[in-house]
Amino acid sequence: MTPVGFIGLGQIGAEMARRLLDWPPGLIVHDALASAMTPLTGAGAEAAASPRDLAERAEVISVMVRDDAQVDEVVAGPSGILASAAPGTVVAIHSTIADATAERLAGLAQPYGVSIVDAPVSGGAVGAQHGTLAVLAGGDTEAIERCRAPFGHWASHVMHAGPPGAGTRAKVARNLLHFVAFSAAAEAQRLAEAAGIDLTELGAVVRHSDAVTGGPGAIMLRPTTAPMADDDGLRPILGHARDLGTKDLGLAIELGERLGVELPLARHALDNLETDLGLGEPGTEEA
């Protein structure tokens, strides 16, 4: 075991790095803002003057900077990781970047004997603080296995999505659900507001019940979006969800019509629920 490195100490990165302070061989940190390193160096971490300096001392390095341009600079810039990294070094990129950037950097790193793992995280600063982040990792198996121990200090779930770039593609899909749900929440709030419902109290109910049921992720149980076979064991379960959804969406649309609130997402969901739940052909059930 060797010291681990962490580059990028923003809101989430600082919390991830903090949980690595008890990594036995030590933690080395770097941030473009020197003051961001102070709380960690005061707690026992070593500071690095640059990504290049850090890579001289660490062989598993996490990168949590803002965007593709910063990732490029940290990994492949003149003072970047590749300027000094030893063969066998693994660089895990936790920033949400373009999948093509991850693939390109993996290609650039290969001649140096350095492995790139694109490993965006899900769970935000709270998940980082409590060590419960999820990691969506793309890279070769050996590189990801080398990351599992340090990842385990701040994550409770690691998904190996495939080769470099796959982790980013998985994160993009995950975030699509997240942000489309914001629009659905806003549509629900408009309906509730028109009906005279306390929105903050309703929000508390949504967070409470989703924590119990798993929210929209609760239906993500199948390995394919193709229609289910007639004898699929999930058909009765998702058929029940379809029946409830058809009823409840119909009630919401009817209420919206009475209150003069447009509900385009509700109508789209009602029109597509059967297909979206995998209950179309060749299934035998009818909506």
Q: Which of 240, 281, 249 is nearest to 267 (CA)?
A: 249
Q: From the candidates 171, 188, 261, 263, give the one annotated as an active-site residue.
A: 171
Q: Which two tokens stand for residue 274?
A: 């059967």
Three-class secondary structure of residue 180 per DSSP: helix
Establish whether 171 is a catalytic residue.
yes
Q: Which two tokens stand for residue 134?
A: 């999820």
Distance (Å, rounded) from C-alpha 7 to C-alpha 71?
10
Burial status of residue 54 (CB atoms within 10 A of its CB: 0-12, 13-18, 19 or more): buried
CA distances to 34, 160, 240, 279 from 93, in Å: 21, 14, 41, 38
How many CB atoms are closer than 10 A to CB 191?
Answer: 19
Distance (Å, rounded) from C-alpha 109 to C-alpha 89?
10
Q: Where are the alpha helices (DSSP H) in 98-221?
A: 99-109, 124-130, 141-151, 166-194, 199-213
CA distances to 3, 109, 228 from 48, in Å: 12, 21, 54
| Residues annotated as part of the active site | 171
